[in-house]
Amino acid sequence: MPAKDRPASPPAHQHGQAPCTAVLLCNLGTPDAPTPEAVRRYLAEFLADPRVVEIPRAAWLPILYGAILPLRSRQSAHKYQAIWTPEGSPLKVWTERQAKRLQGWLGEHGHRVRVAYAMRYGTPAIGRELDALADAGASRILVLTAYPQYSGTTTASVIDAVADWTRTRRSIPELRFVNRYHDDRGYVQALAQRIQRHWRENGRPDHLVMSFHGVPERTLHLGDPYHCECRKTARLLAEWLELAPEQYTLSFQSRFGKAKWLEPYTQPTVEALARKGVQRLDVVCPGFVADCLETLEEIGMEVRDAFLANGGKEYRYIPCLNDETEWIAALGNITLQHLAGWETQAAPQAQELAAQKERAMKLGASA
């Protein structure tokens, strides 16, 4: 286990500590700074994961450290600089806000649940956050991934990290995992409402592209359900938006290396749409629940430039769900489904307040 995932020293166990339930929201990760050095550390951890690059280590690691990291670190650092905020990495900022708002939503609905967040690569590391939760008395932990569609390259890698952590603990909490929610009604509805709000403010486009993160095509043939789950999300979202098949396109972005990845690729798709006469194009990334480098820089800048360079006139990237109220509610309901049967130390007063609030909302809606 990497040093950053290990506690500095074994914590002293406190007998008689009151047990509690916790949720750990896990996202992919981000460098700590938009510098070549920080990006290199992040990419080294990310691209060395055998779940991410399924090439024998003896062949892959010399290429990674000898050729890819020296070149890609500087290039990626330049891209991160273009989207970095005063608060830090957008992915980290949004994931932290989601965790805080999720804990608040659960509290408003009468559930006393501790919510933390972690990154699979970079900081805060999954092992460290699990240590903190367990040492605070969490005897039941729900690992909630920020990946609506299951993939061995993402979801399974989080499970690997949790499994590695369990080897460092004498007393292991009960663990549950949220592996997917690609067809969850609340998630799809939150996406639809996000897009509809954008259209009310900016007008409807000629065409909508739904861009998902790509993976090598061989993963599909090996049984990974990611491709099918992306297609189902796109179909359900199109139904919510009442789009005909010719009004939207599903595509896959962020291809890496020379191998064939899931098609169609996003940038060539957008370029072809511009050449066919599509003047106004919107692009949304349903597989990302928080804005990050792949959405803000790749889709918001690179793909935009490609569309305009090929004859398109208006291009808009529709931001991710981030901390939208509808999304936090959907995330809360997904969490509650997977917490079913676990004691959440619900406070009676909080439950009654939540019930009163819900009754008042219903009365307001019917008035």
Residue 108: other Cβ atoms inside 10 A: 14
pLDDT for 250: 98
Answer yes or no: is pLDDT of 4 > 90.
no
- 74 and 36 in contact (C-beta within 8 Å)? yes
- Residue 349 pLDDT more than 60? no
Lowest mean pLDDT among 62-66, 163-167, 300-304, 342-346: 342-346
Cis peptide before 124 (omega within 30 of 0): yes
Please tell me whether 213 is known to bind a ligand.
Answer: yes
**Taking the model in full, what pTM does it have?**
0.90
Residue reference for tokens 């189902």: 232
pLDDT category at 345 given cuts 50, 70, 90 is confident
Write down all domains in the chain, each with its CATH number in brackets: 3-181+325-350 (3.40.50.1400), 185-318 (3.40.50.1400)
Kind of pairing between the strands at 280-284 and 314-318 = parallel
Closest to 296 (Cα-Cα) out of 154, 145, 90: 90
303-313: per-residue pLDDT in tens?
999 999 999 99
What is residue 257's predicted lDDT score, i.e. its pLDDT? 83
Which pLDDT tens digit goes with each residue over 75-105? 999 999 999 999 999 999 999 999 999 999 9
| 52 vs 327: CA distance, rounded Å | 28
The reply, when asked if residue 174 is annotated as ligand binding, is no
CA Rg, the chain, in Å? 22
Beta strands in 218-341 (DSSP E): 248-253, 280-284, 314-318
When pLDDT is cut at 50, 70 and 90, the band that residue 247 belongs to is: very high
Contact 335, 111 (CB under 8 A): no
**Looking at residue 223, what is its pLDDT?**
97
CA dihedral defined by 199, 240, 147, 225, rounded to 10 degrees?
Answer: -140
Tell the residue number behind the tokens 């650092």, with chain if given.
77
Q: Is the pLDDT of residue 350 over 80?
A: no
Alpha helices per DSSP H over 254-347: 266-275, 293, 304-309, 325-339
Average pLDDT, the chain: 93
> At residue 211, what are phi and psi to the nearest 5 degrees?
-105, 120
